[in-house]
Amino acid sequence: MSYSHHNEKHYIHRTGWLRAAVLGANDGIISVTSLIIGMAASGASTQVLLITCVAGLISGASSMAAGEYISVKSQVDIEEADLHMEAKELDKNPTHELKELTQIYIMRGLNPELAHEVAVQLTAHDALGAHARDEIGIHENTAANPLQAAGSSALAFSLGALFPMFSILISPDQYVATVVMIVGVLSLAGLGALSSYFAGTSMLKGSLRVVIWGIIAMSFSAWIGSMFNVHPM
């Protein structure tokens, strides 16, 4: 019996870097744009806004990288601890572990005889791998990578923060806040659509979701900043 080779396109392997990249870019656009809008509403000059934007980019990118690395590294530590524990159980009580794996396959719809046969064969091939995947839920496609997450997040934040920076550079002094907000909304719309495209979901829904939350954050920052405006802009 011959089988034709068939490859299907899946998106789950993108989870690690896509989550970090989208989070970083989204935070870069929203946080820095909101910061600039809030400062502009307080009456800050264009020069101060530009310096604030650069400072926000540097500190934000560093913070995102450190935060992502620590967060994902903690996940890796948990996965490694679980694998170590499972390896010890396999050495100490392989019969019990085989029954446990068999029960998992029965709960997934296999009849007991077939479930036992599958468990036996997978155990013989790679016992720890079978338990990692089917009992613990650790899979190579979604395994955590701290450096990849940190790098993706920092780079994406920096790219996102460039939008408000360029907005300040190209806009007249009296329209800085308006231009920064418009560019921020448009860049968020593009980010939402792009991330949804890579995730294989609705680009329109993804774009609207990011834009709505971005507008809320920017409006709140503008309101807070206006409270400190002691002279007309």
**What is the DSSP code string of 82-105?**
HHHHHHHHHHH-HHHHHHHHHHHH
Q: Which of 205, 176, 175 is nearest to 189 (CA)?
A: 205
Q: What is the dihedral of CA 126, 129, 130, 132, to 10 degrees?
A: 160
Counting residues of the chain whose pLDDT is more than 90, the rounded percentage is: 23
- Identify whether 68 is part of a domain: yes
Work out the burial of residue 48: count CB atoms within 10 Å of its CB; fewer than 13 is exposed, 13-18 middle, 19 or more buried: middle
pLDDT digits (tens, 9 = 90+) for 97-145: 899 889 999 988 889 899 999 999 988 988 888 888 888 877 765 566 7
Mean pLDDT of the chain: 83
Is the pLDDT at 43 greater than 60, yes or no?
yes
- Identify whether 61 is part of a domain: yes
Is the pLDDT at 53 greater than 90, yes or no?
yes
pLDDT digits (tens, 9 = 90+) for 57-101: 999 999 988 988 998 888 888 888 888 988 898 889 889 989 988
Where b means 16+ CB within 10 Å and e means fewer, 136-163 reads: eebeeeeebbbebbbbbbbbbbbbbbbb
> DSSP states of 11-64 as a string?
SGGGHHHHHHHHHHHHHHHHHHHHHHHHHHHTT--HHHHHHHHHHHHHHHHHHH
Q: pTM of the predicted model, to two decimals?
A: 0.70
- pLDDT confidence of residue 11: 44
- Identify whether 213 is part of a domain: yes
Name which residue leads in pLDDT, 155 or 17.
155
- Identify whether 143 is part of a domain: yes
The average pLDDT across 153-182 equals: 90
Overall domain count for the chain: 1
The range of the structural domain enclosing residue 186 comes to 14-223
Is the pLDDT at 231 greater than 80, yes or no?
no
pLDDT band at 167 (very low <50, low <70, confident <90, very high): very high
CA 221 to chain centre: 24
Task: Kindly list the distances between the CA atom of residue 183 and the CA atoms of 22, 166, 168, 170, in Å, as whole numbers in the listed order.
Answer: 18, 9, 10, 11
- Identify whether 153 is part of a domain: yes
- pLDDT confidence of residue 102: 92
pLDDT band at 161 (very low <50, low <70, confident <90, very high): very high
Amino acid at 131: H
- Identify whether 122 is part of a domain: yes
